[in-house]
Structure 1
Amino acid sequence: MWTRVWRCLWLVVTLMLYRAGGVVLGGVEVGEYLKDRVVGLPGQPKVSFEQYAGYVTVNTNDGRALFYWLMEATHTASSKPLVLWLNGGPGCSSVAYGASEEIGPFRINKTATSLYINPYSWNKLANLIFLESPAGVGFSYTNTSSNLKDTGDERTAEDSLIFLVKWFARFPQYKYREMYITGESYAGHYIPQLAKKIYEYNKRLSKPFINLKGFMVGNAVTDDYYDNLGTVNYWWSHAMISDQTYHSILRNCNFRLEDTSPTCDSFISYAMNQEFGNIDQYSIYTAPCGKSSGDGKKSSTRFKKSLLTLRGYDPCTESYAEKYYNRADVQKALHANITGISYSWTACSDILIRNWQDSDFSILPIYKELIEASGLRIWMYSGDADSVVPVTATRFSLKRLNLTVKSHWYPWYYSKQVGGWTEEYQGLTFATIRGAGHEVPLFRPKAALQLFKSFLSGQNLPANPTV
């Protein structure tokens, strides 16, 4: 009994000392993470979970620091896994997309004056951490301006690993906790690359504290050749382009090259500008946004660069986020923009997208390596109404892995209706989400929550309509 009493007294004294400026025990500042606690956001409804946000410096010499936002689970957070969400672009914000319109607990109203609850938030099942990566995305910054023009896949993966190592030092209660990485689009590069970094890092430790158990990527950029081939195939099979244009693209475009020819570009441009019509390419069966996106969708002269520009962009809902996160009171509540960044917060960084450097032509070798060596739980999913990184592209890439089928193709269910279709392979599970666009949790939130639940549990998606 007295032991428990003394423990309680010690905790009270520690918290009092922290509030007075912190206490150091054994060289480690106790409760350092409490400095990042978010008491509440402007216009936020009351919630039962804790939030933390702030910066982790990943490169002292260049002054690179990454911004994160942790939203703990709604119930029994101490026993729930940790899930890192990454959006792609490259150069798009996980706060803008993942947190604010996909899997986070809050949604922003149209006037950017208040928040409301997302009933299908993934923090019902896990503690969620959203990372704005690389430096230059959202609130993440660098004091070396050249970093904005020489960033690529390798630095992004390395900085993300450094972020995690330092973040776990700040949040020791999450060390050894089951951890997963999820995300979408160009995070099809980020996530497997980071998973490989973590796997290699852990091999050097006798007791790894980053307890990575698996990852899941949606509408994932995977292999330039098969992604491009599968995208054109999707356009044709969904009647978005004519037979003539389809065959002209196949004859004149060599997708095995890093850059396409001017002739190829002209046919791609004709398809996108003349034959698509006024549609939302991220969700071809829903109404497009009324305003001009200004994202270069129709003006890109290179097919590959055009797809990089498209990925991760939603022209309507992001505008609410840009209004909200540029508010000074919101930034203060999130401990964001503490250095006075010289530019406004945006959902995607044009300068990063335009100047992206190293980009792996194919991520398939990483999948092969991790499937064979790591034992990680790996899932890929596709919203089947996305024409930007479509389901056909992912299926073409998966076929090249030559994986053994464990559970053959079948429909999966949620709320007594078909949620999509799935197939389980040796080392990887693939699922489609029926009627969902590029941002699956935005278009099919309830189905996405079921997908996430099955992924975390390691169970197959429900095969009967009673679920």
Structure 2
Amino acid sequence: MGYYYYYYSILCVILFLSVEISLASSIEDQKRDKISWLPGQPKNVGFDQYSGYVTVNEQNGRALFYWLTEAPLSHGPNSKPLVLWLSSGPGCSSIAYGASQEIGPFHINSDGKSLYFNPYAWNKLANILFLESPAGVGFSYSNKTSDLYTFGDQKTAEDSYIFLVNWFERFPQYKHREFYIAGISYAGHYAPQLAQIVYQRNKGINNPVINFKGFLVGNGVTDDYHDLVGTFEYWWTHGLISDSTYKLLRAACDFGSSQHPSVQCTQALKVAAAEQGDIDLYSIYSPLCNNTSTLKRSLNDRYTWMSRAYDPCTERYSDSYFNRPEVQKALHANVTGIPHIWKGCSDVVGNYWTDSPLSMLPIYHELINASLRIWVFSGDTDAIVPLTATRYSINALKLPTVVNWYPWYDSGKVGGWSQVYKGLTLVTVRGAGHEVALHKPRQAFILFRSFLENKYMPSSS
């Protein structure tokens, strides 16, 4: 018995020391990743930020870049959930779009050098973790070049899960926090696929348990067949294409059975593009990027209480800002010295995508049965993944209705419409394009708050 207690005591000491060493290591890693200041940022930033790399594959030297913007100290970040934001593409950056144009605390001025506060930043409600995924997107990298030509949905989801597990080791204070996934566009694949992995691995004996509660997807690619049917219908009903071209598209394009469009479908899409003309399909009633955007910003700067108008040139500002060496240094980014300029979307990753399942509906069924919180939202002026596409895809789930279609309100005005199904909530945002939080930031903020609180959208005028 004496030997037993002796060895037991030694084991306890070893475990205690290993935990202490692990905590000390994570504290050092957090200190290394903490952002002290960003070039051009406004004064009185009342929240902490961290950014850096998390290795997801040692053998190939594959590392993903993240940017954490915690909730303001005055809002109690320790009591707020953690939300992972994934962007579109495939092959586009959550830093360029989600953080800098949509939901992040800072947006970039037209000079490409200075930042201003986003009054409807989502980190006022939660701690937001932006992830650039897969490697080759934004600042994320792989030391094995061939990796960039072999990414697809499955590999991206696996790397994102490994990122999460390793990131929680670096930030153990978040390990048991409520955790959600959010994103737009091709995150319609990323979010449910990662959610499925987290949900399934949580049931494993030796896997760490992530306190995963649900996901939120906007204007998301969901089911190829229904998405295409809904997209062609949207183009036709909104006067973007002719009757004959609509019929041609319906006859020639069947994305429900093939990964690639037929020759006939490709020709029909070319005809449709010519008929649509020079418009922004991501927001069909918005202007294209031109010099008037500078005037809009200078006028809004005089009236800081006003919501800034939509600026179609925001992508240019991201390209300018994140290519500045002092910005990269402040973000602890580009540590490998990539030989090309930083871009919001990769020229390689998206063009060589290896796998993309035709439908996410089976995953939706699985996760709905798991009683996770699932919300889908849609800006109704988007012609890329339009509302009609989303509605056809949701209808294919054949879910019972809990609350029928109703208008929701913001300051006495209709902000959009919503329908609550058993296991899923659909919300539309009136007048918003593909990037809802860029076009309608206040309404997107209300939507996000309702999602976190698991409440219906405000239905009183």
Q: TM-score, normalised by structure 2?
A: 0.89
Following the alignment from structure 1 to structure 2, what is the Cα–Cα distance between the partners of residues 243 and 142? 48
Following the alignment from structure 1 to structure 2, what is the Cα–Cα distance between the partners of residues 199 and 242? 45
Q: Alignment partner of 2:60: what SS?
A: coil
Q: For 1:325, which of 322, 343, 359 is the aligned residue?
A: 322
- Give yes or no for contact 2:287–2:312 (8 Å, CA) kept in 1: no
What does 1:166-315 align with in structure 2 at a 5 Å threshold?
166-205=166-205, 208-256=208-256, 257-273=258-274, 275-290=275-290
Give the drift of 1:81. Answer: 0.6
Q: Which residue of 2 aligns with 1:384?
A: 380
Q: For 2:410, which of 406, 414, 438 is the aligned residue?
A: 414
Give the drift of 1:27. Answer: 4.3
Following the alignment from structure 1 to structure 2, what is the Cα–Cα distance between the partners of residues 464 and 24? 52
AA matched with 2:108: I
Q: Which residue of 1 aligns with 2:79?
A: 79
AA matched with 1:328: P
Q: Which residue of 1 aligns with 2:297?
A: none
- Give yes or no for contact 1:87–1:94 (8 Å, CA) kept in 2: yes
Q: Alignment partner of 2:260: what SS?
A: coil
Following the alignment from structure 1 to structure 2, what is the Cα–Cα distance between the partners of residues 385 and 34? 43
Q: Which residue of 2 aligns with 1:369?
A: 366
Q: Which residue of 1 aligns with 2:349?
A: 352
Is 1:316 aligned to 2:316, yes or no? no
AA matched with 2:62: R
Q: Alignment partner of 1:69: what SS?
A: strand
Q: Which residue of 2 aligns with 1:148?
A: 148
Give the drift of 1:316. Answer: 2.6
- Give yes or no for contact 2:49–2:70 (8 Å, CA) kept in 1: yes
- Give yes or no for contact 1:122–1:449 (8 Å, CA) kept in 2: yes
Following the alignment from structure 2 to structure 1, what is the Cα–Cα distance between the partners of residues 95 and 178? 23
The one-character-per-residue Cα deviations of 1:81-118 (angstroms, maximum 9, x if unpaired) are 11110001000000000000000010111111210101
Distance 1:287 1:27, change over 3 A: closer
- Give yes or no for contact 1:105–1:121 (8 Å, CA) kept in 2: yes
AA matched with 1:330: V
Distance 1:240 1:171, change over 3 A: same
Following the alignment from structure 2 to structure 1, what is the Cα–Cα distance between the partners of residues 158 and 412? 43
Q: For 1:50, which of 34, 40, 48 is the aligned residue?
A: 48
Distance 1:173 1:44, change over 3 A: same
Q: TM-score, normalised by structure 1?
A: 0.88
Q: Could you tell me the percent identity over the aligned residues?
A: 58
What does 1:26-41 align with in structure 2 at a 5 Å threshold?
26-28=21-23, 29-31=25-27, 32-41=29-38
Give the drift of 1:24. Answer: 8.5
Give the drift of 1:258. Answer: 2.2
Following the alignment from structure 2 to structure 1, what is the Cα–Cα distance between the partners of residues 245 and 123? 45
The one-character-per-residue Cα deviations of 1:154-187 (angstroms, maximum 9, x if unpaired) are 0000000000000000000101101111100000
Following the alignment from structure 2 to structure 1, what is the Cα–Cα distance between the partners of residues 358 and 26? 45
Distance 1:144 1:243, change over 3 A: same
Following the alignment from structure 2 to structure 1, what is the Cα–Cα distance between the partners of residues 230 and 288? 23
Q: Which residue of 1 aligns with 2:294?
A: none
AA matched with 1:224: D
Is 1:446 aligned to 2:447, yes or no? no
Q: Alignment partner of 1:351: what SS?
A: coil
Q: Alignment partner of 1:350: what SS?
A: coil
Q: Which residue of 2 aligns with 1:25?
A: 20
Q: Which residue of 2 aligns with 1:135?
A: 135
AA matched with 1:447: Q
How many pairs align?
A: 419
Q: Which residue of 1 aligns with 2:61?
A: 63
Give the drift of 1:200. Answer: 1.0
Q: Alignment partner of 1:420: what SS?
A: strand
AA matched with 2:289: C
Mind listing any 5+ residue stretches in structure 1 that lack a counterpart?
A: 1-22, 292-313
Q: For 2:422, which of 399, 411, 426 is the aligned residue?
A: 426
Mind listing any 5+ residue stretches in structure 2 that lack a counterpart?
A: 1-17, 292-310
AA matched with 1:402: K
Q: Alignment partner of 2:104: what SS?
A: coil
- Give yes or no for contact 1:229–1:255 (8 Å, CA) kept in 2: no
